[in-house]
Amino acid sequence: MHLEKQLETLLPQVQKPARYLGNEWNAVKKDHRTTAVRMAFAFPDLYEVGMSNLGLKIIYEIVNRHPEMLLERVFAPAADMEALMRQQQVPLFALESRRPLREFDLVGFTLQYELSYSNVLNMLDLAGIPFHSSARSGGEPLIIGGGPCAFNPEPLAPFFDLFLLGDGEEGLPELLERWLALRQSGAGRDEILAALAAVEGVYIPGFYRPRYSGGSFSGMELIHPDASPTVRKRVLRDLDSSRFPLAPVVPYIEAVHDRGIVELFRGCGRGCRFCQAGMIYRPVRRRRPETLKKIAREILRSTGYDELSLSSLSSCDYPGIDELIAELNREHEAEKVRFSLPSLRLDSFSVALAGQFRQGRRGSLTFAPEAGTERLRRVIGKDISNEDLFTAIDAAVSAGWNQFKLYFMIGLPAEEDEDVAAIATLCDELRRRIKDERDRWIRLSVSAAIFVPKAHTPFQWEPQLSRSEVGRRQALLRSCTGGLKGVKLSWHDPGSSFLEAVFARGDRRLAPLLVRARERGCRFDGWSEHFSLKRWLDLFEEMGINPEEYAYRRFGEEEPLPWDHLESGASKKLLIREYRRARQDNPSVEVSR
Amino acid sequence: MNRICFRYACGKELRYLSHLDLLRLFQRALRRAGLPLAYTLGFSPRLRLSLAAPLPVGVTASREYGEIALAKPVAPRIFCRRLEKQLPKGLLLTGVALVPEGAPPLAATVNAALYHAAWNSSRPAPPEALLQSSLDKLFAKPEIMIRRFGKRGKIISKNIRPYIFSAGLLPVEQGPQLRLLLQVGSKGGVSPFRFLEQLALEDEYTGGEQCWRIHRQGLYIYRDTLIDPFPEGGEIISGQENFSKL
């Protein structure tokens, strides 16, 4: 094959050529000539990031197990590989078959974070696929999207033929089966889209036209007879008996999360007001302990991993988590398997749980208090006390840990300087009380992210704090934590959080800007070495768009929002109620009930 | 202590893996194989696994060696049967042997690697006479200094002349091909890529490291003669020497 030969000359010249091989353990290679539905799953970031994603593993399993379907992976090539591909005119290809992306029937992008949007366009460009849905013919692949950002996909709307909202386990196979039947019946592209609109969870952006008045979004107009006024997300009812990836692809190079994943439950029973995942993955659905133990056993046998992550939005909330880990430890004692939890709830982390991680002590434990004061934590709906934090850390220290990561946010609604300073006070108190007992400093890594208002959350109306004010509060935090030995502070760049906020609440007027941003070389905006705020600000100015209107404005409760027609499961009424309660410092009503 | 030495070939499918990638691959394959593995003690138990002389990225190989400690004895035949099922295409077990009690680890004794480099470029191949004269010129030098970036951007110079045991042309039909015997291991060494780079400095027609495809024929203990490091009496599983064609 021609492409194969070209690759042979490229691979010796790039960093980490094993990113582009596609022959990893458990990779599935199916015959394109005898498989009716050929889909590529595109992850708009580097291989080692994408290979850590649970969604990819699930979709890979669900589609490839189907005898008539195949799914291959493609990631954003790193800058060195991209340069060579362009120079040698090598089109973007899927890893398993090394076939060009444009030879596939469908290309599905997973939209995990807003700062990967420039990569989506760049990947289409590298694949030689026209950006705009309207410019693509029946011979081009259908471009579909899913993942959290599909709940406000408007900045990307003109580039996608459809989005699938919600869980993919049942929705995607149904979509692909319908697509196949339509294709076999000889239906054209428009006919196919019209029929697919009936699949629950499918949003076809081309069937809707936004209206604007006085410079702001004023509502969605339905311009196709098959368009429904609202699109409800797909919900997998029975998680426990749904198919889970038991033999995931094992990367050769080190992935960001280089371990197996067992998903305990989907959704989150907490109602943190800033958290989009907590809203869009509702309701809570659990797997039974027996199912989980079987999954763990199978994954270990098929991959050879020595670590399994027990993953969920809030894994400590799994009923009987202590016993589950104890049983897993017992069963896999001889193979020296480590079990880890991604991040821990302070109020449900117990001494019993701390004791279960015998082999994990070399690592660190992660807690997310989010805010420095109890008052601010009430505002954001994360109702935990300082006492909870102390109890949790004490438990962990007595079980042998001495390294902790603490996640905070700067710029939360109603944040005052006291709240910022309190982060430092809290860290100081923590290290002192533990030093008293153990006579050695614990190590605290404190990460201060920047609040980004997200669609479908009670804080979707809130403005983001201006970059200069974020900068001032970050400086305040730095000066407060500066003298604390053992405390390491890291923070996010206000510029990239600003861009994230623009796209998180953006509308279709941003699409032409994305096209131009890609031309100007915007890629990997989530990577500080690639991100340039100035380049983006210049683009906004050229296009006559005021980005602050999206990021810094308080949206009105009565105002139509560009994502109002997409139903996440948390109704606008509920979001408004929580938004108002937040402003009275009230704890959240647990929204999933 | 039950130590097993395994010999393997690495084909073109996996030649882009780094040494660490290959170690990870073997760790996981050994775990999947369900063998009784021995672990280090302490909070983070690790396998006692080593691979002799890291294979440079981009190079295929015929006779590479690894060593693994087991918690209890396993017959080489059974070890082989279990492990080979867990190896991806591009890796082939070609021999398994028990390591005699008290024998030093292979990684410490192997000190020479034999490479074949075949011309692999769209550019016209250099005439053999020219290659020979470049080789002669290079060898006539009392020292061959190379510079590379070390930690924190520091430039490190080293003389690679002592690490070149021999280099010459191979009498093959579809040439040219070079035969390079280079030092590897803890006492210093040089990669075939650096050697070819230096050769190109003598004469640019020799093309530089990008123009050659390199295959590692084997690893040896070099003391006047080349000694095969594979333990005597080892179970030779397969003699597929042609597995990794250049």
Per-residue model confidence as pLDDT tens digits over B95-117: 999 999 888 888 889 999 999 99
Q: For residue B98, is it within any domain?
A: yes
Asked if the model's pLDDT at residue B237 lies above 70, the reply is no
Per the CB < 8 Å rule, is A359 touching B16? no
Residue among B16, B45, B58 whose CB faces A21 most closely: B16
A192 plus A264 within the same structural domain: no
CATH code, A405: 3.80.30.20
Assess B208–A contact: CB distance below 8 Å, yes or no: no
* Amino acid B154: pLDDT: 83
Asked if the model's pLDDT at residue A532 lies above 60, the reply is yes
Rounded Cα–Cα distance for residues A44 and A254 (Å):
18
A30 plus A167 within the same structural domain: yes
Per the CB < 8 Å rule, is A336 touching B20? no
Q: Is the dihedral of CA A138, A141, A143, A144 positive or negative?
A: positive
Per the CB < 8 Å rule, is A335 touching B21? no
Task: Kindly tell me the number of DSSP H helices and DSSP E strands found in chain A.
Answer: 20, 19
- Average model confidence (pLDDT) across chain A: 92
The residue of chain B nearest to residue A305, with distances taken between CA atoms, is: B28
Question: What radius of gyration do chain A's Cα atoms show?
Answer: 24
Rounded Cα–Cα distance for residues B58 and B213 (Å):
8
Kindly provide the ipTM of the predicted complex, given to two decimals: 0.91
B117 plus B218 within the same structural domain: yes
Assess B25–A contact: CB distance below 8 Å, yes or no: yes
Helix or strand holding residue B177 (H, E): strand B177-183
B83 plus B28 within the same structural domain: yes
B144 plus B216 within the same structural domain: yes
Per-residue model confidence as pLDDT tens digits over A469-481: 999 999 999 999 9
Partners of A17 on chain B (C-beta within 8 Å) are 16, 57-58
Asked if the model's pLDDT at residue B234 lies above 80, the reply is no
A173 plus A265 within the same structural domain: no
Per the CB < 8 Å rule, is A252 touching B43? no
Per-residue model confidence as pLDDT tens digits over A535-575: 999 999 999 999 999 999 999 999 999 999 999 999 999 99
Token pair 């090394």: residue = A98
Q: For residue B149, is it within any domain?
A: yes
B36 plus B119 within the same structural domain: no
Domain that holds residue B203: 112-225
* Amino acid B244: pLDDT: 43
Residue among B13, B43, B210 whose CB faces A362 most closely: B43
Global model pTM greater than 0.90: yes
Asked which of A74-78, A215-219, B24-28 is least confident by mean pLDDT, the reply is A215-219
Per-residue model confidence as pLDDT tens digits over A230-276: 999 999 999 999 999 999 999 999 999 999 999 999 999 888 999 99
Q: For residue A340, is it within any domain?
A: yes
* DSSP per position, B124-148: PPPPHHHHHHHHHHHHH-S--EEEE
Per-residue model confidence as pLDDT tens digits over A121-146: 999 999 999 999 999 988 899 999 99
More confident residue, A531 or A482: A531
Q: State the helix-helix crossing angle for A417-438 and A386-398, rounded to 10 degrees.
A: 30
Residue type, A428: D
- Which tokens in the block code for residue A477? 């935090």
Per the CB < 8 Å rule, is A250 touching B28? yes
- Sorting pLDDT into bands at 50, 70 and 90, what band is A593? very low
Domain that holds residue A311: 260-505+555-583
* Amino acid B238: pLDDT: 60
Q: For residue B148, is it within any domain?
A: yes
Cα of A298 to nearest chain B Cα, Å: 11
A272 plus A197 within the same structural domain: no
Cα of A97 to nearest chain B Cα, Å: 14
3-class DSSP assignment, residue A101: helix
Cα of B141 to nearest chain A Cα, Å: 30
Q: How many domains does chain A have?
A: 2
More confident residue, B20 or B239: B20
CATH code, B25: 3.30.70.580
Asked if the model's pLDDT at residue A590 lies above 50, the reply is no
Task: Count the Cβ atoms, other than its own, within 10 Å of residue A440.
Answer: 10
3-class DSSP assignment, residue B134: helix
Mean per-residue pLDDT, A169-177: 97
CB B110, CB B219: distance < 8 Å: yes
Q: How many domains does chain B have?
A: 2
Rounded Cα–Cα distance for residues B18 and A103 (Å):
32
Q: Is the dihedral of CA A116, A117, A122, A125 positive or negative?
A: positive
Asked which of A274-278, B164-168, B239-243 is least confident by mean pLDDT, the reply is B239-243
Per the CB < 8 Å rule, is B24 touching A335? no
* Amino acid A362: pLDDT: 57
- Average model confidence (pLDDT) across chain B: 89
Per the CB < 8 Å rule, is A359 touching B45? yes
